[in-house]
Structure 1
Amino acid sequence: MSIVYQVRSGALSGFLPLVSSLQGDVDGLLAEVGLDREVLANPDRLIGIEQLASLLDNCAKCLDCADFGLRLAGYQGIDMLGVLGRVLLTAPTLGAAFNAAQRFMALHNQAEHWRMREEGGRVCLHRIEHFYAVDNPRQYREMALGACCRLVRAFGGEDLRPLRAEFVHQPLAPLSRYRQFFGCEVLFNQEFDRLVFDSSVLQRPLLPPDGQLLAQVDDYVRELLSRCEENLELQVRTLVSQTLGLQQHSLAHIAALLGLHPRTLQRRLLAENLQFKALVQDVKMKTASWYLSASSLEITQLADMLGYAETAAFSKAFRLSQGLSPSQWRAVHGVSKPLI
């Protein structure tokens, strides 16, 4: 079974100004991997992980910029997250945002997910890849870890620095460049790609949302919905899928994102012979089916991501929907090779 792993083109936030500053041919570099400038204008366009990894690698080589992935991460902030960035900004503490973000990353980016673990007074953010067919995606890995570090500072404060950053590969640029970017010790040839913080950061309150940033994200939400404004079902499905991993997909919250009263949303759905609960359940089952087919994500974690208090409840719901248990579905439809 061939699995195509895709990521939102929002991951290319900052690509245009960065390549331009390096006197690079933006259109030529994009075309080389089968992309065009539309991916820079539409952050919700899905692109293959192979395309993204190849693009970053090509840029590093063609522009003689060994730290291209890190430089691109330096352009990225909360605004690249779109509607989910808006939701994350409501978290009371950085710990709550971390918990939400690990769910968000797994549902938002098909190519990877993140896990947060506390170990002896330290909190570790592990980056876990789902794909294995891409040759040496080191620029992509550095961009991903760098973007995570940037987002931690954007949510918690510019004074936040990891205690340590770790990569599974060898350095691509001088070690001083990594220390400058992360502001801490950086290790290579490690078991995981991860950032390590003191566990005290979990209690840090999030920075007050910037009014201009909120306005930008609200504009993004309106643009997102305008693409399917004639289709209420598509609007609801889009918002549920974007907020599912954050447990922000209640009727009240989705209605608020649509600028409607919950009863008004229910009434409009009923007029189209639709029910909100049924739409949410269908999105959950489609999401579960994809992850069981395309990743090695543990079933217990998948159940938690989808909002089930118990794995047994998720398994029962999945069997009723798909006719197979989650493990049976994975055995029939899953990838045949172990994932990184």
Structure 2
Amino acid sequence: MKPIYEIRSGALAGFNILVPQLGGSPSGILAKMGLPADCTRRPNVLIPIATLTDLLNICSQKFACDDFGLRLADKQGLRMLGVLGKLILESKNLKIALMATHRYMVLHNQADHWKIQGSDGFWLAERVNHFPCSVAAEQYNELAMGAAYRLLRDMVGEEIVPRSVSFRHKQVSSQKTYRDFFGVEALFDQRRDCLIFEGTLMDHSLVKPGQGLIKYFDEFTRCLLGEHGGNIGRQVQVLILQTLGAQQHSLVQISRLLGMPARTLQRRLSEAGTSFKQLLQDARMETACWHLRASSIDIGLLSASLGYTDISAFSKAFRVMHGSSPLQWRKRQEARD
């Protein structure tokens, strides 16, 4: 049996805003796809990439909207990062913010990750695909590329424009659509999906967030925690999962998101029969297994994204819990499939 590649439902941020604007019912469409009606408000629901791809294609056809992926991307930006978005805005510059965002995205999507590198006065963000999609994936590809660009604009300002934008797939909308979105004409049938920017952009300070964005993050966090009532252990674990990849998951940061002193959080977790260290380890192992079960992600990249100092530290922790190395565990899963 082939592995099922999944993505967390944060990828659907803005869906419940865009679809009504196009005359549709978000809950109705999601139900037809077998997805929870409230998954747009629950960022950790796991969605098969194939289902997300089908959903985008269906919406594109239903609303005669060949740029549905880009329209959805325009509703996302920092909002798609959920709880982490608020912490990201405190980064010193774009380079630091992107490093945190990159690790977050690695851990929340089994189908692809971003490769960021700089040289000769510019830097390139390349989307590396892992998912062997059997259906047309143009809308998904454009959602991924558009969301990455929208995220950058939220971080450093609406005026930034890439030097170039290239897609591996064929053009599906008018060139004006891409020019209006990215600020430059897009290239198609290229060997990679990538955005190229001036190198000096990495040192750019982040813009001050508006009150609307701050209110969104606060409300998002309240709703997320509200799902778990008074279960402090589960609340902490959810916040760790939201911030793990970006390494914004320390006891101090999590207690701050909960609105309580770190010592109070430690005491409450102890009373609940657990600890922050145990919950962090559980979140790391849960995420590691999720990726190793289906994703083709490099072990080194997974280790770094989980916050381990090196592969050996990750392998040691994994072996203690599962009795084998990450590579051996992955091979066993492949053999079972």
**C-alpha distance in 1 between matches for 2:62 and 2:264:** 54
Residue 302 (structure 2) aligns with: 302
Residue 225 (structure 1) aligns with: 225
Alignment of 1:248 onto 2:248: yes
Residue 95 (structure 1) aligns with: 95
Which amino acid is the alignment partner of residue 112 of structure 1?
Answer: D
**C-alpha distance in 2 between matches for 1:220 and 1:273:** 27
Aligned to 1:246, the other structure's residue is in SS state: coil
Residue 120 (structure 1) aligns with: 120
Alignment of 1:215 onto 2:215: yes
Aligned to 2:267, the other structure's residue is in SS state: helix
Aligned to 1:320, the other structure's residue is in SS state: helix
**C-alpha distance in 2 between matches for 1:314 and 1:273:** 25
Which amino acid is the alignment partner of residue 53 of structure 1?
Answer: T
Residue 64 (structure 2) aligns with: 64
Residue 161 (structure 1) aligns with: 161
**C-alpha distance in 2 between matches for 1:75 and 1:195:** 19
CA contact (8 A) 2:252 2:262 kept: yes
How far did 1:85 drift? 0.8
CA contact (8 A) 1:293 1:335 kept: no
Residue 48 (structure 2) aligns with: 48
Residue 6 (structure 1) aligns with: 6
Residue 236 (structure 2) aligns with: 236
Aligned to 1:161, the other structure's residue is in SS state: coil
Q: Which deviates further from its counterpart, 246-255 or 26-35?
A: 26-35
Q: Which deviates further from its counterpart, 307-316 or 109-118?
A: 109-118
Residue 171 (structure 2) aligns with: 171
Change (3 A) 1:246 1:173: same
Deviations 1:195-230 (A, max 9, x none): 111111110000012233112211211111111122
How far did 1:150 drift? 0.9
Residue 322 (structure 1) aligns with: 322
**C-alpha distance in 2 between matches for 1:298 and 1:99:** 17
Aligned to 2:209, the other structure's residue is in SS state: coil
How far did 1:303 drift? 1.3
Alignment of 1:268 onto 2:263: no
Gaps of 5+ in 2: none
Residue 145 (structure 1) aligns with: 145
Q: Which deviates further from its counterpart, 110-119 or 83-92?
A: 110-119
Size of the aligned set, in residue pairs, is: 337
**C-alpha distance in 2 between matches for 1:161 and 1:214:** 25
Residue 331 (structure 1) aligns with: 331
Change (3 A) 1:27 1:245: closer
Change (3 A) 1:289 1:267: same
How far did 1:74 drift? 1.9
Change (3 A) 1:335 1:256: farther
Which amino acid is the alignment partner of residue 209 of structure 1?
Answer: P
| TM-score, normalisation: structure 1 | 0.91
Superposed CA RMSD: 2.2
Deviations 1:14-61 (A, max 9, x none): 334433443446555444423464334545443332222111111222
Change (3 A) 1:325 1:74: same
Which amino acid is the alignment partner of residue 305 of structure 2?
Answer: M
**C-alpha distance in 1 between matches for 2:10 and 2:292:** 25
Q: Which deviates further from its counterpart, 105-114 or 200-209?
A: 105-114
CA contact (8 A) 1:163 1:185 kept: no
Change (3 A) 1:188 1:325: same
CA contact (8 A) 1:6 1:46 kept: yes
Identical-residue share of aligned pairs (%): 44
**C-alpha distance in 1 between matches for 2:154 and 2:2:** 37
Residue 19 (structure 2) aligns with: 19
| TM-score, normalisation: structure 2 | 0.92
Which amino acid is the alignment partner of residue 238 of structure 1?
Answer: V
Aligned to 1:229, the other structure's residue is in SS state: coil
Gaps of 5+ in 1: none
Deviations 1:295-315 (A, max 9, x none): 111111111111122222212
**C-alpha distance in 1 between matches for 2:293 and 2:56:** 27
Change (3 A) 1:189 1:307: same
**C-alpha distance in 1 between matches for 2:161 and 2:328:** 43
